[in-house]
Structure 1
């Protein structure tokens, strides 16, 4: 056999091997593509939130939490979470993501969820803004809000300060520290119960407030205008005389 024949045989063998390899790879790639398409279709059907990056009042943390909730229920991988979440970026946010992704080094490999989350928050919810939310949570007081309104606002802000709420006792103490004086004493007593939790304490505080306000309203209806003014003055004096910061 001449060198030319040997060379032709090797070239033919290489072509045959390439064909077989491609035949094996193509179905795998098609299967992966079909799987991702199916994932995306299921994801969109669950109506995840969108993020534009240009609207006033958009909450980046709320977007991430909403998307992550949907993704967790689907049981997808960390890489699939990052890819699916990127589909929910629109307008300015989509432009940012495209530029950020193009500037990533190829050596870093596919984008994982934690990397996507860190980059997204770094752009739209930097550390300084997060610190402001934490301060809002720490300093929140009921003031003129009802217990229900105060509870809702406290719950919304709590997502920015998870490290301050490491156990149920911390959650209840934070709630009581900002609640109005008219229900604080009862709340302080009830958090000592072993079966008490934050949700039950909020409901209990709301019931106490409604009972006291209802009693005041009935008393005002039974007396005249001049007596009403005196009663209001006494009520304000009593509130001012109550201790402001009882130990929890």
Structure 2
């Protein structure tokens, strides 16, 4: 679903409607009962309610632990960002603000990238991810560019 929502401009309510349209049997009954108690209009709220129902506490705790200990390691920045986003939905209580989300992502980056970003104190997650990708490209280019520079001299 998330993949579809990245390319189609659905509103928050449309995302919920689209996702719940596919429910059948027990899931459909659960959803109708849930709607009687609460009008769920945002995707984030839907995911929270859905995961509380269909993911055991133990599984959520495992996902939270993976998120808390997540580091870039051998992943590319894009792979790290994807894993970060995937796990973050299970632990919104760990990163309740945009700035905290940005700092957590930054903290898990490899040292050569993190050192260059920390001084900037970028306020949003999107800005940190964008700058991390650009920084990695610059680091890579400078590594490949150095030998060429020496050959000219």
Aligned to 1:171: 101
Alignment CA distance shift 1:136-1:112 (3 Å): same
Q: 1:183 aligns with which of 89, 108, 113?
A: 113
CA shift for structure 1 position 171: 1.0
2:136 alignment partner in structure 1: 209
Structure-2 residue corresponding to 1:111: 33
Relative to structure 1, the CA distance from residue 202 to residue 138 in structure 2 (aligned partners, 3 Å threshold; closer, same or farther) is same
What is the aligned-residue RMSD (CA, Å)? Answer: 3.6
SS at match of 1:177: helix
Cα gap change, 1:216 to 1:159, in 2 (>3 Å): same
Q: Which has the higher contact order (CA 8 A, sep 6+)?
A: 2
Residue 146 of structure 2 aligns with which residue?
A: 219
User: For each residue in 1:17-40, what CA deviation from the matched residue of structure 2 results, as whole angstroms up to 9, or x when unmatched?
Assistant: xxxxxxxxxxxxxxxxxxxxxxxx
Which residue pairs with 1:59 in the alignment? none
Contact 2:60 2:90 in 1 (8 A): yes
Q: Do the aligned partners of 1:190 and 1:201 also contact (CA within 8 Å) in 2?
A: no
Q: Distance in 2 between matches of 1:137 and 1:222?
A: 41
The aligned counterpart of 1:72 is 13
In structure 1, list runs of 5 or more residues that go unmatched: 1-48, 50-61, 105-109, 224-248
Deviation at 1:88, TM superposition (A): 1.8
TM-score by length of 1: 0.44
Give the Cα–Cα distance (whole angstroms) in 1 for the partners of residues 51 and 128 of structure 2: 33
Look up the SS of the partner of 1:128 in the other structure. helix
Q: TM-score of the superposition, structure 2-length normalised?
A: 0.68
**Aligned-residue offset at 1:89:** 2.7
Structure with greater Cα Rg: 1
Q: Which residue of 2 aligns with 1:239?
A: none
Aligned-residue offset at 1:124:
3.3
